[in-house]
């Protein structure tokens, strides 16, 4: 592992250093199989009264998933508080670069209540003490019936990131506001998450 100056994942500098030095073992390199299937089947899951679903990708990193969502006609926005990550994502996004915003998840206010929050290596990027704030923010951002969908990392190693969670702990974290409607094995995990992640969909009550 390279010798990094920043050790605090709550600061943009931590992530800037890693993107600058191309040390991004969490980067899938493209949209995953489960996400592609989800986007294809989303009309049966998302109730949006005929309008494009409002979607947020927090901690977007390279934001490979954004193009898939926009091409499906979704009103999607990707955010990250790391300026280096945002610059990389914009360079990769081409005509979709305008949908990528430098912002802190805890401060960002979308233009309307969200129908979907996409979770991929965001929760596990933050120290466990911040998780209740993340869950509460997800609940506030999503409209009733909205979905929290994506990948959840299960592990008990104290050090991170990524910081893993136990299934019972995840249930306790989300149960006050969400119901789990899908929990599936992942077939295309990258090494850092191999056999330790699940594709899950949670519906906001």
Report the 10 Å Cβ neighbour count for 139: 18
- At residue 164, the pLDDT reads 98
Residues 24, 4 contacting (CB under 8 angstroms) = no
Spell out the per-residue pLDDT of the chain, length 205, in tens. Answer: 678 999 999 999 999 999 999 999 999 999 999 999 999 998 778 877 789 999 999 999 999 999 999 999 999 999 999 999 999 999 999 999 999 999 999 999 998 999 999 999 999 999 999 999 999 999 999 999 999 999 999 999 999 999 999 999 999 999 999 999 999 999 999 999 999 999 999 999 9
Structure tokens at 19: 């993107």
Q: What does the DSSP assignment read for 117-128?
A: EEESSSGGGS-G
Angle between helix 83-93 and helix 12-20 axes, rounded to 10 deg:
50
Domains of the chain, start order: 12-204 (3.40.50.150)
CA quadruple 9, 88, 33, 105: dihedral positive or negative?
Answer: positive
């Amino acid at each position: 592992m390279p010798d990094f100056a920043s050790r605090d994942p709550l600061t943009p500098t931590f992530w800037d250093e890693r993107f600058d030095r191309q040390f991004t073992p969490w980067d899938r390199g493209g949209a995953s199989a489960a996400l592609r299937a989800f986007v294809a089947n989303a009309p049966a899951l998302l109730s949006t009264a005929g309008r494009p679903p409002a979607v947020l990708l927090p901690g977007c990193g390279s934001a490979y998933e954004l193009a898939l969502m926009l091409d499906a006609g979704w009103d999607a926005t990707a955010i990250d508080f790391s300026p280096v990550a945002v610059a990389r994502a914009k360079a990769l996004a081409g005509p979709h670069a305008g949908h990528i915003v430098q912002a802190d998840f805890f401060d960002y206010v979308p233009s309307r209540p969200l129908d979907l929050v996409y979770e991929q290596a965001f929760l596990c990027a933050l120290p466990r003490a911040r998780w209740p704030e993340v869950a509460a923010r997800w609940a506030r951002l999503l409209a009733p019936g909205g979905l929290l969908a994506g990948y959840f990392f299960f592990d008990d190693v104290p050090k991170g990131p990524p910081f893993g969670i136990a299934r019972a702990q995840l249930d306790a974290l989300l149960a006050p506001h969400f119901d789990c409607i899908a929990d599936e094995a992942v077939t295309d995990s990258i090494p850092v998450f191999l056999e330790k992640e699940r594709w899950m969909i949670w519906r906001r009550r």
